[in-house]
Amino acid sequence: MPQARPVLIFYSARQNPLAGRQAGRILPPNEHFQKYQTITGAFGMKSETEYVWFNTRRPREYINITDKVEEVVGRSGIREGMALVSAMHITAGVYVNDAESGIIQDIDEWAEKLAPSGRDYHHHQTGEDNGDAHLKSLLIHHQVIVPITEGRLDLGPWQQIYYAEFDGQRRKRLIIKAIGE
Protein backbone atom coordinates (compact mmCIF):
# COMPACT_ATOMS: atom_id res chain seq x y z
CA MET A 1 0.00 0.00 0.00
CA PRO A 2 1.66 3.25 -1.07
CA GLN A 3 1.91 6.07 1.47
CA ALA A 4 -0.40 9.04 1.21
CA ARG A 5 1.28 12.02 -0.43
CA PRO A 6 0.25 15.66 -0.66
CA VAL A 7 -1.03 16.90 -3.97
CA LEU A 8 -1.69 20.44 -5.04
CA ILE A 9 -3.87 21.22 -8.02
CA PHE A 10 -2.41 23.44 -10.74
CA TYR A 11 -4.47 25.26 -13.30
CA SER A 12 -4.88 28.60 -14.93
CA ALA A 13 -8.09 30.51 -15.30
CA ARG A 14 -8.67 29.24 -18.81
CA GLN A 15 -7.28 25.79 -18.27
CA ASN A 16 -9.23 25.16 -15.08
CA PRO A 17 -10.18 21.50 -15.49
CA LEU A 18 -13.08 22.00 -13.12
CA ALA A 19 -14.45 24.95 -15.09
CA GLY A 20 -17.89 24.51 -16.50
CA ARG A 21 -20.75 22.77 -14.82
CA GLN A 22 -19.01 21.97 -11.52
CA ALA A 23 -16.55 24.80 -11.38
CA GLY A 24 -19.31 27.37 -11.59
CA ARG A 25 -20.10 26.61 -8.01
CA ILE A 26 -16.89 25.09 -6.76
CA LEU A 27 -13.88 26.92 -8.07
CA PRO A 28 -14.54 30.31 -9.58
CA PRO A 29 -11.01 31.10 -10.76
CA ASN A 30 -10.75 34.66 -9.52
CA GLU A 31 -11.81 33.73 -6.05
CA HIS A 32 -9.23 30.99 -5.85
CA PHE A 33 -6.40 32.92 -7.35
CA GLN A 34 -7.00 35.50 -4.68
CA LYS A 35 -7.00 32.84 -2.00
CA TYR A 36 -3.79 31.43 -3.33
CA GLN A 37 -2.17 34.74 -2.54
CA THR A 38 -3.55 34.50 0.96
CA ILE A 39 -2.34 31.03 1.62
CA THR A 40 1.07 31.73 0.23
CA GLY A 41 1.30 34.62 2.64
CA ALA A 42 0.04 32.41 5.41
CA PHE A 43 2.66 29.69 5.35
CA GLY A 44 4.96 30.08 2.41
CA MET A 45 8.52 31.33 2.65
CA LYS A 46 9.56 34.62 1.11
CA SER A 47 12.95 36.12 0.45
CA GLU A 48 14.23 39.49 -0.69
CA THR A 49 17.80 40.37 -1.60
CA GLU A 50 19.43 43.71 -2.24
CA TYR A 51 23.02 44.73 -2.82
CA VAL A 52 24.13 48.14 -1.62
CA TRP A 53 27.29 49.81 -2.90
CA PHE A 54 29.50 52.21 -0.97
CA ASN A 55 32.39 54.41 -2.03
CA THR A 56 33.40 56.41 1.01
CA ARG A 57 35.35 59.65 0.87
CA ARG A 58 37.53 58.74 3.84
CA PRO A 59 39.47 55.48 4.44
CA ARG A 60 37.39 54.75 7.54
CA GLU A 61 33.75 55.72 7.72
CA TYR A 62 30.62 54.64 9.60
CA ILE A 63 27.32 54.80 7.74
CA ASN A 64 23.88 54.33 9.26
CA ILE A 65 22.01 51.89 6.99
CA THR A 66 18.99 51.23 9.20
CA ASP A 67 16.53 52.95 6.83
CA LYS A 68 17.86 50.97 3.88
CA VAL A 69 17.40 47.66 5.72
CA GLU A 70 13.91 48.73 6.81
CA GLU A 71 13.08 49.54 3.18
CA VAL A 72 14.15 46.08 1.98
CA VAL A 73 12.18 44.41 4.77
CA GLY A 74 9.10 46.48 3.91
CA ARG A 75 9.35 45.56 0.23
CA SER A 76 9.75 41.87 1.05
CA GLY A 77 6.28 41.59 2.53
CA ILE A 78 7.76 39.38 5.25
CA ARG A 79 5.84 39.49 8.54
CA GLU A 80 8.02 37.17 10.63
CA GLY A 81 11.62 36.36 9.82
CA MET A 82 15.19 37.59 9.82
CA ALA A 83 17.31 39.94 7.75
CA LEU A 84 20.99 39.23 7.22
CA VAL A 85 23.09 42.35 6.71
CA SER A 86 26.56 41.32 5.66
CA ALA A 87 29.60 43.06 4.17
CA MET A 88 30.81 41.34 0.98
CA HIS A 89 34.37 42.57 1.41
CA ILE A 90 36.92 41.44 3.97
CA THR A 91 37.96 44.89 5.11
CA ALA A 92 34.55 46.17 6.26
CA GLY A 93 32.19 45.41 9.12
CA VAL A 94 28.52 45.63 10.06
CA TYR A 95 27.41 46.28 13.61
CA VAL A 96 24.43 47.37 15.67
CA ASN A 97 24.94 50.27 18.08
CA ASP A 98 24.15 53.87 18.85
CA ALA A 99 23.67 56.66 16.29
CA GLU A 100 25.65 59.10 18.47
CA SER A 101 28.71 60.83 17.04
CA GLY A 102 30.74 60.46 20.24
CA ILE A 103 30.36 56.69 20.42
CA ILE A 104 31.15 56.39 16.71
CA GLN A 105 34.42 58.22 17.35
CA ASP A 106 35.06 55.94 20.35
CA ILE A 107 34.48 52.85 18.19
CA ASP A 108 36.88 54.17 15.55
CA GLU A 109 39.62 54.92 18.08
CA TRP A 110 39.06 51.60 19.85
CA ALA A 111 39.30 49.59 16.60
CA GLU A 112 42.45 51.51 15.70
CA LYS A 113 43.95 50.77 19.11
CA LEU A 114 43.21 47.01 19.05
CA ALA A 115 44.00 46.55 15.35
CA PRO A 116 46.40 49.39 14.52
CA SER A 117 47.23 50.59 11.04
CA GLY A 118 50.79 51.34 9.93
CA ARG A 119 52.26 48.05 11.14
CA ASP A 120 54.32 45.56 9.17
CA TYR A 121 51.63 42.95 8.70
CA HIS A 122 52.61 39.75 6.89
CA HIS A 123 49.75 40.48 4.51
CA HIS A 124 51.66 43.50 3.24
CA GLN A 125 54.20 41.24 1.55
CA THR A 126 51.55 40.78 -1.14
CA GLY A 127 51.77 44.49 -1.90
CA GLU A 128 48.65 45.34 0.13
CA ASP A 129 48.76 47.85 2.99
CA ASN A 130 45.41 47.16 4.62
CA GLY A 131 46.19 44.36 7.10
CA ASP A 132 44.68 46.41 9.92
CA ALA A 133 41.38 46.66 8.02
CA HIS A 134 41.14 42.85 7.86
CA LEU A 135 41.64 42.63 11.63
CA LYS A 136 39.16 45.45 12.31
CA SER A 137 36.61 43.54 10.19
CA LEU A 138 37.11 40.49 12.42
CA LEU A 139 36.96 42.59 15.62
CA ILE A 140 33.69 44.34 14.74
CA HIS A 141 32.36 41.30 12.82
CA HIS A 142 31.23 41.60 9.25
CA GLN A 143 27.54 40.89 9.73
CA VAL A 144 24.43 41.08 11.87
CA ILE A 145 21.06 39.37 11.77
CA VAL A 146 18.07 41.58 12.48
CA PRO A 147 14.75 40.09 13.58
CA ILE A 148 11.61 40.96 11.60
CA THR A 149 8.39 40.99 13.64
CA GLU A 150 4.95 41.99 12.37
CA GLY A 151 6.47 43.23 9.14
CA ARG A 152 9.08 45.56 10.67
CA LEU A 153 12.67 45.51 11.88
CA ASP A 154 12.44 44.49 15.52
CA LEU A 155 15.14 46.71 17.00
CA GLY A 156 15.56 48.00 20.54
CA PRO A 157 15.13 51.73 21.26
CA TRP A 158 18.72 52.75 20.46
CA GLN A 159 19.73 50.03 18.06
CA GLN A 160 20.88 51.26 14.66
CA ILE A 161 22.58 49.24 11.93
CA TYR A 162 25.96 50.54 10.75
CA TYR A 163 28.19 49.76 7.81
CA ALA A 164 31.78 50.20 9.02
CA GLU A 165 34.25 50.92 6.25
CA PHE A 166 37.86 50.22 7.22
CA ASP A 167 39.50 50.52 3.78
CA GLY A 168 37.37 52.84 1.72
CA GLN A 169 37.70 55.26 -1.17
CA ARG A 170 36.72 52.50 -3.58
CA ARG A 171 33.55 50.64 -4.49
CA LYS A 172 32.52 48.06 -1.90
CA ARG A 173 29.37 46.02 -1.60
CA LEU A 174 26.96 44.87 1.11
CA ILE A 175 24.16 42.30 0.93
CA ILE A 176 20.81 42.62 2.68
CA LYS A 177 18.85 39.38 2.56
CA ALA A 178 15.53 38.90 4.31
CA ILE A 179 13.83 35.53 4.66
CA GLY A 180 10.61 34.67 6.42
CA GLU A 181 6.92 34.26 5.96
Site residues for its own copies, window 20-79 (CB under 8 A)?
Answer: 25-27, 32-33, 35-36, 38-40, 42-45, 47, 49
H-assigned helices in 27-179: 29-43, 66-76, 101-114, 131-140
With CB under 8 A as the contact rule, which of the stretches 55-63, 66-74, 141-149 interacts with its own copies?
141-149
Q: Counting contacts by CB under 8 A, is residue 96 touching its own copies?
A: yes
Q: Does 14 bind its own copies (CB under 8 A)?
A: yes
Q: Closer CB to its own copies, residue 22 or residue 169?
A: 22
Applying CB under 8 A, the span of 60-68, 69-77, 93-101 interacting with its own copies comes to 93-101
Phi-psi region of 46 (alpha: psi -120 to 50; beta: other; left: phi over 0): beta
Q: How far is the CB of 66 from its own copies (least distance, A)?
A: 13
Closer by beta carbon to its own copies, 74 or else 86 = 86
Number of residues that bind its own copies (CB under 8 A): 88
Beta bridge partners of 162: 64, 95
Using CB atoms within 10 A of its CB, is residue 156 exposed (0-12), middle (13-18) or buried (19+)? exposed
Distance CA 9, CA 16 (A): 10
By CB under 8 A, what part of segment 99-128 binds its own copies? Answer: 100-103, 105-107, 110, 114-115, 121-126
Considering the complex, what minimum distance in angstroms separates the CB of residue 157 from its own copies? 8
Tell me the C-alpha distance between 78 and 151, whole Å.
6
Which residues touch 41 (CB under 8 Å, ≥6 apart)?
77, 79, 181
Q: How far is the CB of 57 from its own copies (least distance, A)?
A: 21
Looking at the Cβ atoms of 5 and 58, the one nearer to its own copies is 5
Please classify residue 98 by burial: count the beta carbons closer than 10 Å to its beta carbon, then call 0-12 exposed, 13-18 middle and 19+ buried.
Answer: middle
Q: How far apart are the first and last CA of the chain?
A: 35
Contact region with its own copies (CB under 8 A), list: 52-60, 62-70, 157-165: 157-165
